[in-house]
Structure 1
């Protein structure tokens, strides 16, 4: 049960965006740029979604972790095993060594920005990460700490049905973040 009066039928952050359109616009623009727009990063949209899903899982934000995991699955050609592997343990997941080091940086940011060390940055560079990719990883992780706390701090509705997240994932992977959400029948 949400802590404030939110529109029914819109889970997680979507209900907050419906509640406060003035704050929704810049936040939607930010997430569109960070995760979806192909020209803004040398990381693929799927890799960026994995960073968001992994950070959200570390923050125990079910809505964001599951939603961005589903989007990542569609961005990665429907491969849910990669997403599950990253959430379980990025070090053993079937992803590049570079992405493993970037996910390590994301995990450090999730703890505290000051937890990122020069050794973490050097490890990522040794695996081929550019300054832009390191920048984007830190910004995605920091932004998702904000989003996760926004979603959970107001007790938004978090569906239990995996099909809901799959539908959201499919829509967001193809349309991005600037389209209107669809209403979902609450369980």
Structure 2
């Protein structure tokens, strides 16, 4: 087995990073047992690292109607549509853990319309995919379709923001040639 670099850009040494970034990376390593490559790749630009993870946390860690597993479903489905290997693999692992289901991430990544998820979750992903792939076509009917399943305007904002943020993340992961950590493949199975 050959080992590919995790990025086409320089990956900083943890000892050379600003203390706040180094501490964050060490905390993730203590919790997960490894350092997800996204942290190392984005640490190439410390100010952008901080902005990225601040917005990531604001979207993915806040309380709200969407469960943490549903937020990960949005990431997995839209990342697949954007051909982002890193995010499908990494967030697929997180989805398996948060949903406590070893099959759901693969189903959602390949074809969420046939996945073993609820009609409410399919409506959520329909909206997320439209934001991801054709946001210029989003209109009142899309919000009405969400409302039928109990999503309000704030939920729609959350779905759209997660989809849009990970569209940017997918593009950066692809442009940097970010590689998923081997550890992700077995997580939650």
TM-score normalized with structure 2 length: 0.77
Equivalent pair of 1:53/1:68 in contact (CA under 8 Å): yes
Match of 1:131 in 2: 153
In structure 1, stretches of 5+ residues that fail to align are 171-187
Alignment of 1:26-37 (within 5 A): 26-37=51-62
Structure 1 counterpart of 2:178: 156
Q: Distance in 1 between matches of 2:112 and 2:176?
A: 29
> How many residues of Structure 1 are paired with residues of Structure 2 in the alignment?
164
- 1:45 has 2:68 as partner: yes
SS at match of 2:103: helix
Match of 2:38 in 1: 13
Change (3 A) 1:158 1:72: closer
Higher relative contact order (CA 8 A, sep 6+): 1
Q: Structure 1 stretches (4+) deviating beyond 6 angstroms?
A: none
Deviations 1:32-77 (A, max 9, x none): 121123x2x2101110011011111110101011111111111112
Evaluate the alpha carbon distance shift between residue 67 and residue 158 of structure 1 in structure 2; reply closer, same or farther with a 3 A threshold. Answer: closer
The 3 A distance-change label for structure 1 pair 123 and 139 is: same
C-alpha root-mean-square deviation of aligned residues, in Å? 2.3
Kindly indicate whether the alpha-carbon contact (under 8 Å) linking 2:95 and 2:104 is maintained by their aligned counterparts in 1. Answer: no
**Corresponding residue of 2:104:** 82
